[in-house]
Amino acid sequence: MSQIITVHSYRGGTGKSSTAANLALLLAASGHRVALVDTDIHTPALDVIFGGAVAETRRRSLTDYLIGRCEIEDAVYRADGDWGHDGFFLIPARSRSAAAAEILGRGYDVGLLREGFDRLIDALALDYLLLDTHAGFNNETVTAMASSDALVVVTRADRLDLAGARETVSLAERLGGLPLTVAVNMAPDGLVRGALHDEVERAYDTQVSAVLPYAPEMASLAGERLFCTAYPHHPLVAGFRRIITSVSNGTTGLRR
């Protein structure tokens, strides 16, 4: 059985991609076979988060697959050797040969995304497929959410971020009541049971699964180590683990 988990935010700058990367690595560290797909073709983040190794070694990407330049299996970067866990895979959004302007100009069959996700699960014998999305809503994001067993929404506890809560919840409902897990990121001290925390729960009509504290150490790690490997006992990592528990505790559907 395998599970598809989409990590999403309504606005940029919430730490969504970093959260997705840490969740994927923690799942792999637990012995699961995990692939992380960067579906953000416009502003990809995996290359930055995982350093230069991906950019230097990959020749194909999700974009190459979508425009018919390769098979989805050709876009897989086996990352287990670099990050110390067997069965950890990355699928970047773009390669050097595939620019965003090319896919925007040529277009693609959006059905290829779902087909590609299913093929990755089968070809890599995955336990978890994590999808890092573009902020807001576009074809890739909606398709990722529609393909998922669970949705992790990363938000900040300010009213600008909360402005999109109604749209996110509405879309999840239209997709068949997609289970929603909400994580409040970069939280200042005192937020855990503050008024904004309660406002987040009201906005999304669900409990906040994790409050992720602001961690200044994060800024110094890009391209070197992920936060969960550099600071395994940090409260932020405990928050990542709570997110994993919330989407893996049997309340979400498992794909056979």
Whole-angstrom Cα Rg for the chain: 17
CA distances (Å), 183 to each of 76, 96, 169, 210, 247, in order? 28, 33, 14, 5, 12
Boundaries of domain holding 98: 3-247
Distance (Å, whole) CA 144 – CA 152: 12
The pLDDT of residue 182 is 94
- Count, in order, helices (H) and strands (E) of the chain: 13, 8
Whether residue 254 lies inside any domain: the answer is no
Whether residue 256 lies inside any domain: the answer is no
The pLDDT of residue 198 is 83
What CATH number does the domain containing 188 carry? Answer: 3.40.50.300
Whether residue 229 lies inside any domain: the answer is yes
Q: Do residues 191 and 210 touch, judged by C-beta distance below 8 A?
A: no
Domain count, the chain: 1
The pLDDT of residue 56 is 54
Whether residue 253 lies inside any domain: the answer is no
pLDDT in tens, the chain (256 residues): 799 999 999 999 899 999 999 999 999 999 999 999 999 988 888 877 876 555 555 578 999 899 898 999 999 988 766 666 678 999 999 876 556 677 767 778 888 999 999 999 999 999 999 999 999 998 889 999 999 999 999 998 788 888 888 889 989 999 888 899 999 999 877 665 667 778 888 889 888 999 899 888 887 775 567 899 999 999 999 999 999 999 985 443 333 2
